[in-house]
Every structure is written in structure tokens, then in C-alpha cells.
């Protein structure tokens, strides 16, 4: 499929089902801990600096943000989990919003689940992966911030992440960096494979 990635724009932000776009365009959602680099991943894949708002402060993205890419697919930027400074009520609202989207959205083709390549996956990362497996939602694991680890240690980190997640070999795993654009082709290939 030919996609003009320059032709991308934010379409809408939503907090509930009634606000989701009403059509059958395929969607790829981005999930991961707050600050892991979801918005940066979107910007890198679209060759844009600031289409998806990024921040060194966690918790920047608080709604489901739908990005229209050349009228061929959508990225859905999902608020990050595991941000300590939110109230219990906020967290419960977040959980409900994500769960509603992930379990009921017919447009959803796959979830790109981002983990920080430097560290073992958190309990929340593991829970997200188990959740996606349980609902049989195709998942692409993107291990990001690879630029922060020496290349000679990449294999060791990849193995550790896979082991912790109990990674299913039929899923895709992409080593990625928004800094160097490492993994750009592989990430696009994995995504286009699912839509």
C-alpha cells in the first residue's frame, strides 16, 4: 500500500465511545507507560517534529488522540499508564477509557505496545501485554530509547524483555529509537502487515 505519511493530521480527541470516528478506517493504537515515547514514536514514523505533543513531563497525553494518515489508517495515541501523580479517581477513569477502546473498537487492527528498552518491563507493561493476549488483539512490541544503550547490549536487553513478558514468538518485536530513527522501516512494515 502506498501511504503518503506527510499527509497526516490530528483528527479528533475522544474520551468516550460516542466521540470515536464513525467509519471503518483501520486503527493502530499506541500503548505504554507514561513518558516511554509513544507520541515521539508517532512523530518519528510520520517524519514530523511535533504533530503528536511530546513532553519530558509525564502525563502529557490525556485523551485518545486520533491521527488520520493519508485517509488510509489512523494512529490512536493512548494516554500513558503508571504515572504516579494522578488520583485514584483519575486512574480509574483512565482504565475505563482504555479498556472501552481496546475491547470494543472494531477498527482496531493492532496495538503497538512500547516498552523502555533500558529496563525490565514494569508490572503495568506485563499486565498490558497479558490483557492484549487475552483479548487476542495483535500486538507489536516496540522497545524504544535504544539509543540510550550500547549496541553490544541490545541482544541482552531484548532477551530480558521477552523473558519477563513471556513473549509470544508469533508477535513482532522491534528495537526502536526516535532519536536515531533506528527501526523505522521495521516498525512501518510491522504496522502495514496488520492493516
Task: State yes or no: residue 50 binds ligand GTP (CB under 6 A).
Answer: no
Which of ligand GTP, Mg ion, none does 82 bind, CB closer than 5 to 8 A by kind? Answer: none
Please say whether the beta carbons of 38 and 78 come within 8 A. Answer: yes
Tell me which stretch binds ligand GTP (CB under 6 A): 38-46, 100-108, 131-139, 185-193: 38-46
Name the residue whose CB lies closest to ligand GTP. 80
User: In whole angstroms, how far apart are CA 97 and each of 17, 47, 110, 162, 190?
Assistant: 9, 29, 17, 28, 26
Eight-state DSSP code of residue 117: T
Map residues 68-87 to x or -, x wherever contact with ligand GTP holds by CB under 6 A: -----------xx-------
C-beta of 23: minimal distance to ligand GTP in Å? 25
Which of Mg ion, ligand GTP, none does 37 bind, CB closer than 5 to 8 A by kind? Answer: ligand GTP
Pairing mode of beta strands 73-77, 64-69: antiparallel
Q: How far apart are CA 134 and CA 115, in angstroms?
A: 19
- Of the residues 16, 55, 104, 155, which one makes contact with ligand GTP according to CB under 6 A: 55
For residues 54 and 167, which CB has a smaller minimum distance to Mg ion in the complex?
A: 54
Residue appearing with cell numbers 487475552: 134
- Residue 51 CA, distance from chain mean position: 15
List of residues 6+ apart from 64 with CB closer than 8 A: 13, 14, 15, 20, 76, 77, 78, 79, 97, 101
- Tell me the sheet residues that pair with 116: 144
Task: State yes or no: residue 159 binds ligand GTP (CB under 6 A).
Answer: no
C-alpha grid cell for residue 111?
496495538
- Of the residues 59, 72, 100, 138, which one makes contact with ligand GTP according to CB under 6 A: 59
For residues 21 and 59, which CB has a smaller minimum distance to ligand GTP in the complex?
A: 59
Question: How long a stretch of residues is the chain?
Answer: 195
Task: State yes or no: residue 65 binds ligand GTP (CB under 6 A).
Answer: no
Which of ligand GTP, Mg ion, none does 55 bind, CB closer than 5 to 8 A by kind? Answer: ligand GTP
Residues making contact with ligand GTP (CB under 6 A):
32, 34-40, 54-56, 58-61, 79-80, 144-145, 147-148, 177-179
Amino acid at each position: 500500500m502506498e501511504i503518503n505519511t506527510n499527509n497526516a493530521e490530528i483528527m479528533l480527541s475522544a474520551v468516550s465511545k460516542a466521540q470515536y470516528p464513525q467509519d471503518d478506517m483501520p486503527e493502530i493504537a499506541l500503548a505504554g507507560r507514561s513518558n516511554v515515547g509513544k507520541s515521539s514514536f508517532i512523530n518519528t514514523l510520520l517524519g514530523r517534529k511535533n504533530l503528536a505533543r511530546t513532553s519530558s513531563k509525564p502525563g502529557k497525553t490525556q485523551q485518545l488522540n486520533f491521527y488520520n494518515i493519508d485517509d488510509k489508517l489512523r494512529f490512536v495515541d493512548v494516554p500513558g499508564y503508571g504515572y504516579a501523580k494522578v488520583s485514584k479517581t483519575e486512574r480509574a477513569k483512565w482504565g475505563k477509557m482504555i479498556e472501552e477502546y481496546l475491547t470494543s473498537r472494531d477498527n482496531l487492527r493492532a496495538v503497538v505496545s512500547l516498552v523502555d528498552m533500558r529496563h525490565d518491563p514494569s508490572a503495568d507493561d506485563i499486565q498490558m501485554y497479558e490483557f492484549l493476549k487475552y483479548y487476542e488483539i495483535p500486538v507489536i512490541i516496540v522497545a524504544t530509547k535504544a539509543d540510550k544503550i550500547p549496541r553490544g547490549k541490545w541482544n541482552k536487553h531484548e532477551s530480558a524483555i521477552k523473558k519477563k513478558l513471556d513473549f509470544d514468538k508469533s508477535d513482532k518485536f522491534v528495537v526502536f529509537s526516535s532519536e536515531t530513527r533506528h527501526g523505522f522501516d521495521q516498525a512501518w512494515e510491522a504496522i502495514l502487515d496488520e492493516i
